[in-house]
Amino acid sequence: MADILGIKYQSAKQKLDGKRGVFYSELKSVYDYFHESLEQAKPYNGIFIVNDMHVRCNIVVSDEKVEIKEPGINYAYFHKNYYVVNPTGVKFSKDMKQVLRMDFLPAPKLAILDNDKELLELLKSVSNRYGIDASVYETAQEMMQAVDREDYDGYVIDWLLDYDENSEEVIKKIRSKSETVPIILLTGQLNQHEREIGETIMEYGVELVEKPTRVFILSSILLANLFF
């Protein structure tokens, strides 16, 4: 472990003995060294897309080659380990497979924490448009209670809340429950809190998005994490 992480033997031993913490980046380095994925296998093999709406699904395709695209039939192409079905898309290739069966799964669940009500409603609306079941919370206490009650597929969390409170304790609680669930950290105060935020990224493996939030960028990150 010392060699993998590039640290002293004594430090590695203390980490293994539970006397020192292990950074998310260090945990990922160990998994990468053994060519293992830190992520668990996802319970679906396909994504159904209509306009902006994305739906997780399990798909069975035909092995026969597709020579021509017939109306009224769904076709799937393979992209990033998933079968993608997009009936409204114009893309067609002979690598496509005819879909024999498609079983839809529930929408991924997202929890959003921000003390800005207007931004919360915007993020919820955008999430729903893309097929994500979003729940919104205005305080750290509300979010922490929700983490106890529910299992979410991802989190969007504002760094600075009311009364100069930051969201580190919320992130810490989420990571104690799941080491791999995506956490997207929003901040408009990077210049004032650069060191704290940098340490949080290293410690908990969060992804940073600066405010003012660009909706297309954030939605792309959510799609990449919750579907692809």
Q: What whole-number distance in Å separates Cα of residue 187 and Cα of residue 82?
A: 32
| Domain ranges within the chain, ordered by starting residue | 2-33, 46-104, 109-226
Model confidence at 22: pLDDT above 70: no
CATH number for the region 109-226 comes to 3.40.50.2300
Taking Cα atoms as reference points, which of 34, 6, 24, 54 lies closest to residue 225? Answer: 54
How high does pLDDT run on average in the chain? 89
More confident residue, 145 or 160: 145
Summarised one tens digit per residue, pLDDT across range 150-170 is 999 999 999 988 877 899 999
Strand partners, 83: 46, 78
Q: What whole-number distance in Å separates Cα of residue 114 and Cα of residue 109?
A: 17
Q: What whole-number distance in Å separates Cα of residue 155 and Cα of residue 128?
A: 14
Residue 205 token pair: 């493996």
- Label residue 220 by pLDDT band (50, 70, 90): very high
Strand partners, 85: 48, 76
Q: What whole-number distance in Å separates Cα of residue 83 and Cα of residue 148?
A: 34
Q: State the distance between the two ends of the chain, measured CA to CA, in whole angstroms.
A: 31
Q: What whole-number distance in Å separates Cα of residue 220 and Cα of residue 174?
A: 22
Mean pLDDT of 79-85: 91
**Residue-level pLDDT at 70:** 86
Taking Cα atoms as reference points, which of 225, 166, 178, 168 lies closest to residue 202? Answer: 168
Least confident of 84-93, 97-106, 118-127, 137-146: 84-93
Model confidence at 83: pLDDT above 80: yes
More confident residue, 219 or 94: 219
**Residue-level pLDDT at 77:** 92
Least confident of 126-135, 185-194, 210-219: 185-194
**Residue-level pLDDT at 39:** 59
Model confidence at 38: pLDDT above 60: no
pTM value is 0.78
Mean pLDDT of 126-144: 97
**Residue-level pLDDT at 42:** 78
- Percent of the chain past pLDDT 90, that is, above it, reads 61
**Residue-level pLDDT at 32:** 75
**Residue-level pLDDT at 71:** 85
Q: H helices of the chain, where? A: 2-5, 9-16, 24-33, 117-129, 140-149, 168-177, 194-204, 215-226
